[in-house]
Structure 1
Amino acid sequence: MKKYDTSTLLERFLRYVRIDTQANEKAGTYPSTPGQRELGRLLCEELRAMGVQNVEQDEHGLVFATIAATVPGAPTIAFTAHLDTSPETSGRNVQPQVIRNYPGGDIPLPGDPRQVIRVADNPELNQLVGKTLITTDGTTLLGADDKAGVAVIMEACRIMCENPDIPHGQIRIVFTCDEEIGKGVLYLEPDRIGAVVAYTLDGTGVGEIEAETFSADLALITITGANIHPAIAKGRMINAVRLAGKFLERLPQHHYSPETTSDREGFIHPYVIEGGVAQVTIRCLLRDFETPQLAEYAAWLREIGRQIERDHPGARVQVAVQPQYRNMREGIAREPRAVAYAVEAVRRAGLEPKLKSIRGGTDGALLTAKGLPTPNLSCGEHNFHSPLEWTCLEELESAVHVVLELCQVWAGH
């Protein structure tokens, strides 16, 4: 395996994470925040400077680019990552901490003494002694989800442009917006990409290939009561806040919640509650690897609603379910080379391939549903969506080499 110079990777990643691209679920625009367009414009400038062709940021903020084939007739493949970061933790004024030659042990974060990345919670740190780690300062997320993927793709682009002897077919690059709020491919169709397969760079660790995701729905539970001045409320008030508490108490407590499940177990996850005496809304995530199970979860919620209505005459409970994404397992199986070639590329990069399932979703799940098989590849993400987020430079470098090897496998070399 030939090793390529990745000396610009660290500064590239640090440059990207300092741009605030935190998604906003309530914005009502696409992209939902201006920082996503700002980062997209920067990437376009850098791609043009590399000599990449057909660089475009469209009216939706999506970024497209093409690296011309060095092997005529080889299949066109695509690599994609998302520009936004999670709405769960601030992405403003990110101050990354670079730890060179990591000595081992727990990592205190300088911006907040309460925040410590502990080896007990991150046992993979034991395998990274002597490596270069990048963390937050403890007051924001880092944004490795998914700026690690963005940086890996950009670095691979630079290397291919500077080394035309690398055999590859046409390579399409796509950067999306608002993936974290489920809208990453809202304005993206496979025909615009023009590839036989795509790969998202949006995964943990090294050497992992993910060709299966949760199926996902969003349940919006609306509990309507009756408000009146508390001085004259006896027998007349129906307090939707109290009813919301009773509704949540009736959800499974020891099964089917994120706190108590792992591996292939699904869950029901209430994550936002808003309102007052007259009306309360609860947003609830429904997740399972088996799509029919989502309907069962929704049925449970509706039955709890009926129980609340029976116990509290005059109250109304409505459960509206919105499909979000579906397990990409079946779609990827229709193009067996998608995973087989990724396994070969990981091996050629000197790593042990690990086939995994994602307890979540990616743009790849939605692209696969639209007809473009899109597995997910590792790019060194750890503790994403959290002030304890961190990544490892050597894991990012490994991801770059996997991308380069994958291009060559698809070109028949």
Structure 2
Amino acid sequence: MIDKKKITERFINYVTINTESDPNNPAFPSTENQWNLAKILEKELIEIGMQDVELDDNCYIMATLPSNLDYKVPTIGFVAHIDTSPDFSGANVKPKIVENYQGNDIVLNEEQQIILSPNDFDDLLLYKRQTLITTDGTTLLGADDKAGVTEIVSAMEYLIQHPEIKHGKIRICFTPDEEVGKGAHLFNVEKFDAEWAYTMDGSQIGELEYENFNAASAKITINGKIVHPGYAKGKMINSMLIANEYISAVPSDEVPEKTEGYEGFFHLHDLKGDVEQTVLEYIIRDHDFDVFEKRKYLMQKIAFDMNKQLGKELIHVEIKNQYFNMKEKVLPVKHIVDIAEEVMKDLDIKPLIKPIRGGTDGSQLSFKGLPCPNIFAGGHNFHGRFEYVPVESMIKATEVIIGISEKVAEKYS
């Protein structure tokens, strides 16, 4: 159905373009290099026959596949992001193709002895006898989310080339800066004009998600006082030691490396300090909104209690909400999840319906009025050197897009 060689070449073409985003740049998009892929996609969408192709001033690409029906059905959409994570280098990506994988160790980089092994990543064993695309061990791959981009473009091209497949109006959008939390910030939901959409931004084949974390950031600034250590008694205040006490007061079992499923966490991801000042940066996550609020309150209470004990207000906590659980917005239109699940079963894909331990553009879009569950794109081990994607998973994801488009036409006939 889907040309394996073509989808592989398309994906490799996309991932070799550096589109790493920058969390420290307030500009939109946060890096100029995202325009390079955006312009290629704009040209490619026009070439395959999409209509209303538009690359706007903020690096969002939208396009339309017109309906080929003689009756009206809901307009649906598909969304993916073009940027890659700043957690690991996205420059000079050199993908490696592993044909007919047999469950063995994969040497990504012989010189540096970097090995992708099922002993460390047992999900590799799900893909025996398939074709894997991996990194060379020195960069991430970019399947998050260039696999999703590849699948959407490939599905639209297939539908255009096969007009016998009936579908309603389909809108697509590729967003910048999703990896730095801004992917949906300037998304024009009104212009997109779809009743619902799907982000193609999940991982393992079969994933179908409509729940995600409620998310906040917490910045804890601790002020100290530096004096000569030889004369410091009763005068010096070491902010780093106070920071250590604060960290110890946060529940040590409620961290990412000790939680799973619906369990939330506190994650200390950055620490900078000296005697005079220490800054701790946390992210706070929970699926349950009430528990999420309690987590934020705890961060404030620890500071309040410590300041009281110190007799001075040395600890300041700044908490900012980032996104919320899209379940609240998707459940009232749960049929959009049911359609995707039904299509997966039709394609002999076992649906893996589970909560996202993170967020997607879909969470913010759902709260902006565009209900938007998340579907697998096929990649594994995102944001690092061990990232890989099975080509067969990308093909299946492409077939899911086509199947959803066809299923909506059938259901509303």
TM-score range for the pair, normalised by the shorter chain length: over 0.9
After the TM superposition, which residues 113-262 of structure 1 pair with which residues of structure 2 at under 5 Å, given as runs? 113-253=112-252, 255-262=253-260
Residue aligning to 2:363:
365
Per-residue deviation at 1:361? Answer: 0.5
d(CA) in 1 for partners of 2:246, 2:160: 57
Structure 1 counterpart SS, 2:158: helix
6, 20, 23: which one aligns with 1:22: 20
d(CA) in 2 for partners of 1:371, 1:274: 39
What letter is aligned with 2:146?
K
Contact 2:4 2:391 survives alignment (8 Å): no
d(CA) in 1 for partners of 2:188, 2:42: 20
Q: Cα RMSD (Å) of the superposition?
A: 1.6
d(CA) in 1 for partners of 2:229, 2:302: 27
Contact 1:136 1:142 survives alignment (8 Å): yes
Per-residue deviation at 1:275? Answer: 3.7
Structure 2 counterpart SS, 1:380: coil
Residue aligning to 2:404:
406
TM-score scaled by length of structure 1: 0.95
Q: Specify whether residues 162 and 384 from structure 1 end up closer, same or farther in structure 2 by C-alpha distance, changes over 3 A only.
A: same
Per-residue deviation at 1:315? Answer: 5.3
What letter is aligned with 1:395?
S
d(CA) in 2 for partners of 1:280, 1:10: 47
What letter is aligned with 2:120?
D
Deviations 1:287-313 (A, max 9, x none): 011012122112221222134324434
In the TM superposition, structure 1's runs of 4+ consecutive aligned residues that sit over 3 Å from their partners are: 4-7, 111-114, 228-234, 310-315
d(CA) in 2 for partners of 1:323, 1:391: 32
What letter is aligned with 2:263?
E
- Percent sequence identity over matched residues? 38
Name the count of aligned residue pairs. 410
Q: Specify whether residues 231 and 28 from structure 1 end up closer, same or farther in structure 2 by C-alpha distance, changes over 3 A only.
A: farther
Per-residue deviation at 1:93? Answer: 0.9
Q: Specify whether residues 202 and 111 from structure 1 end up closer, same or farther in structure 2 by C-alpha distance, changes over 3 A only.
A: farther
TM-score scaled by length of structure 2: 0.95
Q: Specify whether residues 174 and 112 from structure 1 end up closer, same or farther in structure 2 by C-alpha distance, changes over 3 A only.
A: farther
Contact 1:112 1:139 survives alignment (8 Å): no
d(CA) in 1 for partners of 2:398, 2:4: 8
Residue aligning to 2:287:
289
Per-residue deviation at 1:12? Answer: 0.7
Moved more, 226-235 or 199-208: 226-235
Deviations 1:318-349 (A, max 9, x none): 11111111111121112122111101111222
Residue aligning to 2:9:
11
After the TM superposition, which residues 345-360 of structure 1 pair with which residues of structure 2 at under 5 Å, given as runs? 345-360=343-358
After the TM superposition, which residues 61-72 of structure 1 pair with which residues of structure 2 at under 5 Å, given as runs? 61-72=59-70
What letter is aligned with 1:36?
Q
Structure 1 counterpart SS, 2:94: coil
Contact 1:227 1:277 survives alignment (8 Å): yes
Deviations 1:347-393 (A, max 9, x none): 22231222121111100011111121100001112011111111100
Ranges in structure 2 where 5+ consecutive residues have no aligned partner: none
Residue aligning to 2:264:
266
d(CA) in 1 for partners of 2:8, 2:96: 12
Contact 2:19 2:82 survives alignment (8 Å): yes
What letter is aligned with 1:15?
N
Ranges in structure 1 where 5+ consecutive residues have no aligned partner: none
d(CA) in 2 for partners of 1:65, 1:34: 22
Moved more, 195-204 or 95-104: 95-104
d(CA) in 2 for partners of 1:276, 1:53: 57
